[in-house]
Homo-oligomer: A and B are copies of this chain.
Amino acid sequence: MRRRRKLDDDPAATLEDVARAAGVSVATVSRALNFPDLVREATKARVAEAIEKTRYTPHFAARALATNRTHTVGAIIPTLNNAIFARGVNAFEETLRGRGFTLLLSVSNYDAATEHLNALRMIERGVDAVMLIGIDHGAETLARLSAANTPLVCTWSHAPDHPAPTVGFDNHAAMAPVVAHLIAHGHRRIAMLAGITEGNDRARARVAGVRDALRQSGLSLAALREVRYGVEEAAAAATALLCEEAPTAIICGNDVIAHGALFAAHRLGHDVPGAVSIVGFDDLPLSAAMPPGLTTVRVPAARMGRLAAEHLVSQIEGTIAPSRALPTELVVRGTTGPARPQKA
Protein backbone atom coordinates (compact mmCIF):
# COMPACT_ATOMS: atom_id res chain seq x y z
CA MET A 1 0.00 0.00 0.00
CA ARG A 2 0.94 3.58 -0.28
CA ARG A 3 2.48 5.43 2.55
CA ARG A 4 0.66 8.67 2.23
CA ARG A 5 2.79 10.36 4.83
CA LYS A 6 1.50 13.84 5.52
CA LEU A 7 3.54 15.22 2.70
CA ASP A 8 6.62 13.65 1.26
CA ASP A 9 9.32 13.56 3.89
CA ASP A 10 10.74 10.56 5.65
CA PRO A 11 8.07 8.42 7.21
CA ALA A 12 7.74 8.50 10.97
CA ALA A 13 9.47 5.78 12.93
CA THR A 14 7.38 2.75 13.77
CA LEU A 15 7.65 0.17 16.48
CA GLU A 16 9.55 -1.96 14.05
CA ASP A 17 12.16 0.69 13.50
CA VAL A 18 12.63 0.98 17.22
CA ALA A 19 12.84 -2.79 17.57
CA ARG A 20 15.51 -2.98 14.92
CA ALA A 21 17.49 -0.16 16.46
CA ALA A 22 17.31 -1.81 19.87
CA GLY A 23 17.99 -5.27 18.56
CA VAL A 24 14.82 -6.76 20.01
CA SER A 25 11.42 -7.74 18.69
CA VAL A 26 8.49 -5.41 18.29
CA ALA A 27 6.68 -7.28 21.02
CA THR A 28 9.40 -6.41 23.47
CA VAL A 29 9.27 -2.77 22.56
CA SER A 30 5.53 -2.75 22.89
CA ARG A 31 5.84 -4.39 26.28
CA ALA A 32 8.57 -2.05 27.39
CA LEU A 33 6.13 0.73 26.67
CA ASN A 34 2.95 -0.73 28.08
CA PHE A 35 4.05 -3.25 30.70
CA PRO A 36 7.45 -2.06 31.86
CA ASP A 37 7.78 -4.68 34.56
CA LEU A 38 7.59 -7.47 32.05
CA VAL A 39 10.92 -6.52 30.56
CA ARG A 40 14.40 -6.58 31.98
CA GLU A 41 16.04 -3.33 33.00
CA ALA A 42 18.86 -3.69 30.54
CA THR A 43 16.47 -4.28 27.69
CA LYS A 44 14.30 -1.39 28.71
CA ALA A 45 17.30 0.87 28.64
CA ARG A 46 18.21 -0.17 25.12
CA VAL A 47 14.64 0.33 24.01
CA ALA A 48 14.49 3.76 25.57
CA GLU A 49 17.64 4.69 23.76
CA ALA A 50 16.30 3.41 20.48
CA ILE A 51 13.11 5.37 20.95
CA GLU A 52 15.14 8.44 21.56
CA LYS A 53 17.28 7.89 18.53
CA THR A 54 14.47 7.16 16.15
CA ARG A 55 12.30 9.99 17.52
CA TYR A 56 9.56 7.45 17.77
CA THR A 57 6.01 8.59 18.41
CA PRO A 58 3.34 5.97 19.05
CA HIS A 59 0.71 5.78 16.36
CA PHE A 60 -2.59 6.20 18.04
CA ALA A 61 -4.91 4.93 15.40
CA ALA A 62 -2.94 1.71 15.23
CA ARG A 63 -3.10 1.27 18.94
CA ALA A 64 -6.79 2.06 18.94
CA LEU A 65 -7.40 -0.47 16.22
CA ALA A 66 -5.57 -3.15 18.11
CA THR A 67 -6.97 -2.43 21.55
CA ASN A 68 -10.34 -0.97 20.73
CA ARG A 69 -9.70 1.88 23.12
CA THR A 70 -9.08 5.42 22.06
CA HIS A 71 -8.44 7.15 25.35
CA THR A 72 -10.63 9.86 24.02
CA VAL A 73 -13.88 11.09 25.48
CA GLY A 74 -16.47 13.22 23.82
CA ALA A 75 -18.49 16.10 25.16
CA ILE A 76 -21.43 17.64 23.38
CA ILE A 77 -22.59 20.88 24.86
CA PRO A 78 -25.20 23.40 23.74
CA THR A 79 -22.75 26.23 23.27
CA LEU A 80 -19.44 27.55 24.44
CA ASN A 81 -20.76 31.07 24.21
CA ASN A 82 -22.30 30.81 27.61
CA ALA A 83 -19.43 31.21 30.03
CA ILE A 84 -20.92 28.76 32.47
CA PHE A 85 -20.62 25.85 30.06
CA ALA A 86 -17.15 26.96 29.13
CA ARG A 87 -16.17 26.75 32.78
CA GLY A 88 -17.58 23.29 33.11
CA VAL A 89 -15.85 22.07 30.00
CA ASN A 90 -12.59 23.63 31.09
CA ALA A 91 -12.61 21.64 34.32
CA PHE A 92 -13.83 18.55 32.50
CA GLU A 93 -10.94 18.68 30.09
CA GLU A 94 -8.37 19.32 32.78
CA THR A 95 -9.28 16.37 34.86
CA LEU A 96 -9.71 14.14 31.86
CA ARG A 97 -6.29 15.06 30.63
CA GLY A 98 -4.85 14.34 34.04
CA ARG A 99 -6.25 10.84 33.72
CA GLY A 100 -4.71 10.29 30.31
CA PHE A 101 -7.73 11.06 28.18
CA THR A 102 -8.23 13.57 25.43
CA LEU A 103 -11.33 15.64 24.85
CA LEU A 104 -13.35 15.59 21.67
CA LEU A 105 -15.65 18.58 21.83
CA SER A 106 -18.62 19.67 19.79
CA VAL A 107 -21.48 22.10 20.25
CA SER A 108 -25.09 21.46 19.37
CA ASN A 109 -26.57 24.94 19.52
CA TYR A 110 -29.41 23.55 21.59
CA ASP A 111 -30.48 21.51 18.60
CA ALA A 112 -31.40 17.86 19.03
CA ALA A 113 -30.65 16.92 15.42
CA THR A 114 -27.21 18.46 15.61
CA GLU A 115 -26.59 16.74 18.90
CA HIS A 116 -27.50 13.43 17.34
CA LEU A 117 -25.17 13.93 14.40
CA ASN A 118 -22.38 14.92 16.76
CA ALA A 119 -23.00 11.84 18.84
CA LEU A 120 -22.75 9.62 15.77
CA ARG A 121 -19.51 11.28 14.85
CA MET A 122 -18.14 10.55 18.27
CA ILE A 123 -19.24 6.96 18.17
CA GLU A 124 -17.47 6.51 14.84
CA ARG A 125 -14.42 8.05 16.39
CA GLY A 126 -14.69 5.38 19.01
CA VAL A 127 -14.77 7.64 22.03
CA ASP A 128 -14.43 5.72 25.26
CA ALA A 129 -17.23 7.74 26.87
CA VAL A 130 -19.52 10.70 26.30
CA MET A 131 -20.70 13.62 28.36
CA LEU A 132 -23.95 15.35 27.55
CA ILE A 133 -25.64 18.39 29.06
CA GLY A 134 -29.04 17.84 30.61
CA ILE A 135 -31.29 14.84 30.30
CA ASP A 136 -33.37 15.80 27.28
CA HIS A 137 -31.89 13.71 24.52
CA GLY A 138 -33.24 11.97 21.48
CA ALA A 139 -34.17 8.35 22.07
CA GLU A 140 -32.25 7.44 18.95
CA THR A 141 -29.16 9.21 20.26
CA LEU A 142 -29.30 7.35 23.53
CA ALA A 143 -29.93 4.10 21.70
CA ARG A 144 -26.91 4.47 19.47
CA LEU A 145 -24.71 5.37 22.37
CA SER A 146 -25.87 2.38 24.28
CA ALA A 147 -25.59 0.13 21.24
CA ALA A 148 -21.97 1.18 20.95
CA ASN A 149 -21.71 0.46 24.64
CA THR A 150 -20.34 3.89 25.29
CA PRO A 151 -20.40 5.01 28.92
CA LEU A 152 -22.44 8.16 29.28
CA VAL A 153 -23.00 10.81 31.86
CA CYS A 154 -25.50 13.64 31.82
CA THR A 155 -24.59 16.81 33.63
CA TRP A 156 -26.31 20.00 34.68
CA SER A 157 -29.34 18.08 35.84
CA HIS A 158 -30.01 15.53 38.48
CA ALA A 159 -32.44 12.71 37.80
CA PRO A 160 -31.85 9.56 39.81
CA ASP A 161 -34.41 7.69 37.76
CA HIS A 162 -32.94 8.62 34.41
CA PRO A 163 -31.57 5.72 32.34
CA ALA A 164 -28.19 7.43 32.11
CA PRO A 165 -26.27 8.38 35.23
CA THR A 166 -26.25 12.07 36.03
CA VAL A 167 -23.80 14.34 37.74
CA GLY A 168 -25.66 17.54 38.28
CA PHE A 169 -28.03 19.51 40.42
CA ASP A 170 -31.73 19.83 40.92
CA ASN A 171 -32.84 22.72 38.75
CA HIS A 172 -36.34 22.56 40.11
CA ALA A 173 -35.40 22.64 43.77
CA ALA A 174 -32.82 25.34 43.19
CA MET A 175 -35.61 27.81 42.55
CA ALA A 176 -37.36 27.44 45.89
CA PRO A 177 -34.93 29.65 47.83
CA VAL A 178 -35.12 32.25 45.09
CA VAL A 179 -38.86 32.49 45.35
CA ALA A 180 -38.75 32.42 49.13
CA HIS A 181 -36.23 35.24 49.14
CA LEU A 182 -38.41 37.35 46.89
CA ILE A 183 -41.58 36.66 48.82
CA ALA A 184 -39.84 37.50 52.05
CA HIS A 185 -39.11 40.88 50.56
CA GLY A 186 -42.72 41.45 49.83
CA HIS A 187 -42.75 40.60 46.17
CA ARG A 188 -46.06 39.40 44.81
CA ARG A 189 -45.86 40.34 41.15
CA ILE A 190 -43.09 38.02 40.09
CA ALA A 191 -42.31 37.42 36.45
CA MET A 192 -39.94 35.02 34.83
CA LEU A 193 -37.67 35.42 31.86
CA ALA A 194 -36.77 31.85 31.06
CA GLY A 195 -34.54 30.23 28.53
CA ILE A 196 -36.17 28.38 25.65
CA THR A 197 -37.75 25.38 27.29
CA GLU A 198 -38.22 23.20 24.24
CA GLY A 199 -35.71 20.41 24.35
CA ASN A 200 -34.13 21.93 27.43
CA ASP A 201 -34.98 20.16 30.63
CA ARG A 202 -33.05 22.61 32.76
CA ALA A 203 -34.99 25.60 31.53
CA ARG A 204 -38.22 23.67 32.03
CA ALA A 205 -37.30 22.55 35.51
CA ARG A 206 -36.45 26.08 36.53
CA VAL A 207 -39.78 27.37 35.34
CA ALA A 208 -41.57 24.53 37.08
CA GLY A 209 -39.55 25.13 40.21
CA VAL A 210 -40.60 28.76 40.31
CA ARG A 211 -44.21 27.90 39.61
CA ASP A 212 -44.36 25.27 42.31
CA ALA A 213 -42.69 27.45 44.88
CA LEU A 214 -45.08 30.30 44.13
CA ARG A 215 -48.04 27.99 44.31
CA GLN A 216 -46.96 26.88 47.75
CA SER A 217 -47.38 30.46 48.82
CA GLY A 218 -50.65 30.82 47.03
CA LEU A 219 -49.16 32.88 44.26
CA SER A 220 -48.61 32.37 40.59
CA LEU A 221 -46.34 33.73 37.93
CA ALA A 222 -47.28 37.23 36.87
CA ALA A 223 -45.78 36.61 33.45
CA LEU A 224 -43.50 34.19 31.68
CA ARG A 225 -41.41 34.84 28.63
CA GLU A 226 -38.92 32.57 26.97
CA VAL A 227 -35.88 34.00 25.36
CA ARG A 228 -32.89 32.74 23.42
CA TYR A 229 -29.68 33.08 25.32
CA GLY A 230 -27.95 36.33 24.51
CA VAL A 231 -27.79 39.65 26.29
CA GLU A 232 -29.45 41.68 23.59
CA GLU A 233 -32.34 39.30 23.07
CA ALA A 234 -32.84 39.14 26.80
CA ALA A 235 -32.77 42.91 27.10
CA ALA A 236 -35.43 43.23 24.43
CA ALA A 237 -37.67 40.71 26.12
CA ALA A 238 -37.09 42.29 29.49
CA THR A 239 -38.02 45.68 28.14
CA ALA A 240 -41.32 44.34 26.92
CA LEU A 241 -41.88 42.54 30.18
CA LEU A 242 -41.19 45.59 32.27
CA CYS A 243 -43.41 47.83 30.21
CA GLU A 244 -46.30 45.47 29.77
CA GLU A 245 -46.40 43.58 33.03
CA ALA A 246 -44.71 45.85 35.55
CA PRO A 247 -43.50 43.01 37.76
CA THR A 248 -41.74 43.93 40.98
CA ALA A 249 -39.29 41.12 40.45
CA ILE A 250 -37.96 39.15 37.51
CA ILE A 251 -36.46 35.73 37.89
CA CYS A 252 -34.17 34.98 34.98
CA GLY A 253 -33.28 31.61 33.49
CA ASN A 254 -29.61 32.37 33.76
CA ASP A 255 -27.14 35.15 34.45
CA VAL A 256 -26.79 36.19 30.85
CA ILE A 257 -30.50 36.79 30.66
CA ALA A 258 -30.35 38.58 33.99
CA HIS A 259 -27.68 40.90 32.70
CA GLY A 260 -29.87 41.60 29.71
CA ALA A 261 -32.72 42.41 32.08
CA LEU A 262 -30.50 44.69 34.11
CA PHE A 263 -29.49 46.44 30.94
CA ALA A 264 -33.11 46.88 29.97
CA ALA A 265 -34.05 48.23 33.39
CA HIS A 266 -31.18 50.66 33.21
CA ARG A 267 -32.22 51.89 29.78
CA LEU A 268 -35.78 52.35 30.95
CA GLY A 269 -34.55 54.25 33.96
CA HIS A 270 -35.95 51.71 36.37
CA ASP A 271 -33.93 51.50 39.51
CA VAL A 272 -32.69 48.05 40.54
CA PRO A 273 -33.64 46.90 43.06
CA GLY A 274 -35.72 49.93 43.93
CA ALA A 275 -38.21 49.59 41.12
CA VAL A 276 -37.59 46.00 40.21
CA SER A 277 -35.58 43.15 41.65
CA ILE A 278 -33.69 40.84 39.35
CA VAL A 279 -32.37 37.36 39.99
CA GLY A 280 -30.10 35.29 37.79
CA PHE A 281 -28.91 31.71 37.70
CA ASP A 282 -25.32 30.43 37.36
CA ASP A 283 -23.28 33.00 39.23
CA LEU A 284 -20.86 33.95 36.51
CA PRO A 285 -17.65 35.53 37.78
CA LEU A 286 -18.76 38.87 36.41
CA SER A 287 -22.04 38.74 38.26
CA ALA A 288 -20.32 39.31 41.56
CA ALA A 289 -18.19 42.15 40.27
CA MET A 290 -20.75 44.14 38.42
CA PRO A 291 -22.26 46.71 40.80
CA PRO A 292 -24.53 46.29 42.61
CA GLY A 293 -23.84 42.58 42.31
CA LEU A 294 -26.33 40.17 40.85
CA THR A 295 -28.44 38.06 43.14
CA THR A 296 -28.25 34.63 41.64
CA VAL A 297 -28.04 30.90 42.18
CA ARG A 298 -24.56 29.56 42.29
CA VAL A 299 -23.93 26.55 40.09
CA PRO A 300 -20.85 24.46 40.82
CA ALA A 301 -19.85 24.29 37.16
CA ALA A 302 -16.18 23.53 37.60
CA ARG A 303 -16.76 20.94 40.26
CA MET A 304 -19.44 19.36 38.14
CA GLY A 305 -17.10 19.17 35.19
CA ARG A 306 -14.45 17.56 37.33
CA LEU A 307 -16.83 15.05 38.86
CA ALA A 308 -18.34 14.19 35.51
CA ALA A 309 -14.89 13.42 34.19
CA GLU A 310 -14.10 11.23 37.15
CA HIS A 311 -17.43 9.53 36.80
CA LEU A 312 -16.71 8.64 33.21
CA VAL A 313 -13.23 7.41 33.98
CA SER A 314 -14.72 5.13 36.61
CA GLN A 315 -17.21 3.82 34.12
CA ILE A 316 -14.51 3.23 31.56
CA GLU A 317 -12.56 1.30 34.13
CA GLY A 318 -15.60 -0.82 34.73
CA THR A 319 -16.76 0.61 38.03
CA ILE A 320 -20.40 1.48 38.24
CA ALA A 321 -20.45 4.99 39.58
CA PRO A 322 -23.68 6.29 41.11
CA SER A 323 -25.46 9.40 39.97
CA ARG A 324 -24.43 12.37 41.95
CA ALA A 325 -26.36 15.40 43.15
CA LEU A 326 -24.52 18.64 43.67
CA PRO A 327 -25.83 21.52 45.75
CA THR A 328 -26.77 24.94 44.47
CA GLU A 329 -26.91 28.00 46.61
CA LEU A 330 -28.77 31.26 46.51
CA VAL A 331 -26.32 34.16 46.53
CA VAL A 332 -28.01 37.34 47.59
CA ARG A 333 -26.41 40.50 46.31
CA GLY A 334 -27.54 43.94 45.28
CA THR A 335 -30.12 43.37 42.57
CA THR A 336 -32.83 42.21 44.92
CA GLY A 337 -34.50 44.18 47.65
CA PRO A 338 -37.90 45.02 49.08
CA ALA A 339 -40.74 45.17 46.58
CA ARG A 340 -41.75 48.67 45.58
CA PRO A 341 -45.11 49.67 47.04
CA GLN A 342 -47.91 48.42 44.79
CA LYS A 343 -50.41 50.94 43.55
CA ALA A 344 -53.36 48.76 44.44
Contacts and interface: CB of A to CB of B under 8 A. Distances in A.
B235 A260 contact: no
B263 A6 contact: no
Contacts of A67: 4
B68 A6 contact: yes
Contacts of A230: 285
Given A61-B61, A231-B285, A231-B288, A72 B125 contact: yes
Interface in A104-139: 104-107, 109, 118, 120-126
Number of copies: 2
Contacts of A81: 83, 86-87, 90
A103 B102 contact: no
Nearest to A11: B68
A234 B94 CA distance: 24
A118 to B, nearest CB: 7
B70 A80 contact: no
Contact of A97 (B7, B61, B83, B118): B118
Contacts of A99: none
Nearest to A70: B61
Interface string A248-273: 00000000100110110010000000
A329 to B, nearest CB: 18
Nearest to A301: B81
Contact of A102 (B4, B68, B104, B262): B104
B289 A231 contact: yes
A286 interface: yes
A184 interface: no
A344 interface: no
A79 interface: yes
A317 interface: no
A147 interface: yes
A277 to B, nearest CB: 17
A128 to B, nearest CB: 8
Interface stretch (A30-38, A51-59, A216-224): A51-59
A279 B90 CA distance: 27
A62 interface: yes
A60 B126 contact: yes
A7 B129 CA distance: 13
A1 interface: yes
Contacts of A240: none
A263 B235 contact: no
Given A1-B66, A90-B81, A150-B6, A58 B124 contact: yes
Contacts of A104: 72, 102-105
A234 to B, nearest CB: 9
A64 interface: yes
8 contacts: A9-B149, A61-B126, A79-B90, A80-B80, A93-B107, A97-B118, A103-B105, A231-B285
Q: Would you list the 10 A-B pairs with minimal beta carbon distance, nearest first?
A: A6-B149, A61-B64, A86-B86, A80-B90, A263-B289, A80-B86, A61-B65, A105-B105, A231-B289, A266-B291
Given A102-B106, A102-B122, A103-B104, 14 more contacts: A4-B67, A57-B120, A59-B65, A64-B64, A72-B104, A80-B87, A80-B90, A89-B105, A93-B106, A97-B106, A230-B285, A259-B286, A259-B290, A262-B289
